[in-house]
Chains A and B, each alone.
Chain A
């Protein structure tokens, strides 16, 4: 349900209608920014948001994103160490 994709707001196109250009991986589409805009519409420019059916639905919290990624990275590294240890153990046993 609800395909959404992160995009960056690059310019305001129609302030009266709360419309702005968003960019996703080099593809541009005009989107409505009412849900993420503050009092000053121009502040939306540069923000990253989750885009769904032509609406910037939610601003991406960069700190939260970094935190989640950091936790995932730690997990990945720990796993690699475990695997390296297991591989070393196996090599030792093979040598015996």
Chain B
């Protein structure tokens, strides 16, 4: 063990021996890339099939706190990118990971983050094949920022897109809404709330494979991350030029999330999720898609929440408890806790 330091120093970003020690002991010993080259060299049989397409995505991850109930920034960095591939109908294969590390960050923390990335990657059936580290001065980053890029393969004949949603299509979510947003808010401690809400952070690759096997004509899917379900639905409604109507009584919510929302005056429709998606499928495949979701752990709480309509284009509405209607608009700025 050449790495004796407890905390990251600027030397670990200097390009010399200290950096090599950090990379080898903390990162590559866990991720185990094929070779220590500057690029990963990859072969995929799936990609050789005529008509198959490569899918690629990238995402930067910043979370405060970096460790929270139900996950940490590493888990999110893998799940988030896996999910961005999966919701487009791709089978996720490879990830890259770039770390911006703040001087003074505990190396033990980095190890925990890396371990949870590797565990999540194995679960999702993807490999972390290349990466990078940089160290910045204290205060120039908040412990660690991670950027992951992901590559996957979309099999021939599959073409999911928000534009393909048609009136009558059924909207299904795989589980409860708002857990991640509420969990982070509680974990951050600014509002001094304590609640046992674990983040819903989860990879959804297997779930999507199950859905697509059962509902091959699934039109479009979005993971409801920042901006929550409301933003995902608005994006789809706008792209497809359809209306979307959801039922307030059908929305799955954990009681504690409801509690946080009531106390702070927040709307759970806008809370972030990290393991929740909404998929639109043709009506005649809805039942099969729902049943398929329930066969995987991430879909145990799957439920139909509404449908696409020929109502006003691009507009999402919610039928309230009493049958009244209200618009569910895009989030403006950031959702702030309120007393009024």
Contacts and interface: CB of A to CB of B under 8 A. Distances in A.
Interface of A: 1-3, 5, 24-30, 51-53
Nearest to A6: B262
A79 to B, nearest CB: 13
Interface stretch (B9-17, B64-72, B78-86, B187-195): B187-195
A1 B265 CA distance: 11
B256 interface: yes
Contact of B194 (A2, A28, A51, A53): A28
A28 B193 contact: yes
Contacts of B186: 27
A26 B179 CA distance: 14
**Chain A binding site: helix, strand, loop or mixed by DSSP?**
strand
Given A2-B340, A26-B195, 6 more contacts: A3-B265, A3-B338, A27-B186, A27-B193, A28-B195, A29-B192
B339 A52 contact: yes
A10 B263 CA distance: 17
A25 B339 contact: no
A30 B189 CA distance: 12
Q: Which 8 A-B pairs have the closest CB atoms?
A: A25-B259, A27-B259, A26-B256, A27-B195, A5-B262, A24-B259, A28-B194, A25-B255
13 contacts: A24-B259, A25-B258, A26-B196, A27-B186, A27-B193, A27-B195, A27-B256, A27-B260, A28-B195, A29-B194, A30-B192, A51-B263, A52-B339
A30 B196 CA distance: 16
B263 A27 contact: yes
Interface of B: 186, 191-196, 255-256, 258-260, 262-263, 265, 338-340
Nearest to A21: B194
Nearest to B182: A27
A27 B194 contact: yes
Contacts, number: 42
**Chain B binding site: helix, strand, loop or mixed by DSSP?**
mixed
A55 B131 CA distance: 50
Contacts of B196: 26
Given A3-B339, A52-B339, A26 B262 contact: no
Nearest to A7: B263
A34 B255 CA distance: 28
Contact of A26 (B191, B192, B259): B259
A68 B27 CA distance: 63
Nearest to B254: A26
A26 B256 CA distance: 5
A8 to B, nearest CB: 12
Contacts of B255: 25-26
Contacts of B259: 24-27
A30 B191 CA distance: 10
A24 B260 CA distance: 8
Nearest to A53: B339
A25 B262 contact: yes
A20 to B, nearest CB: 13
Most B Cβ at <10 Å: residue of A27, A28, A51? A27
Most A Cβ at <10 Å: residue of B196, B255, B259? B259
A83 to B, nearest CB: 14
A72 to B, nearest CB: 13
Given A3-B265, A5-B262, A29 B339 contact: no
Contacts of A53: 339
A29 B256 contact: no
Nearest to A30: B192
A25 B192 contact: no
B186 to A, nearest CB: 8
A34 to B, nearest CB: 18
A2 B192 contact: no
Nearest to A22: B263
B339 A2 contact: yes
B253 to A, nearest CB: 10
A28 B196 CA distance: 9
A29 B339 CA distance: 15
A52 B193 CA distance: 14
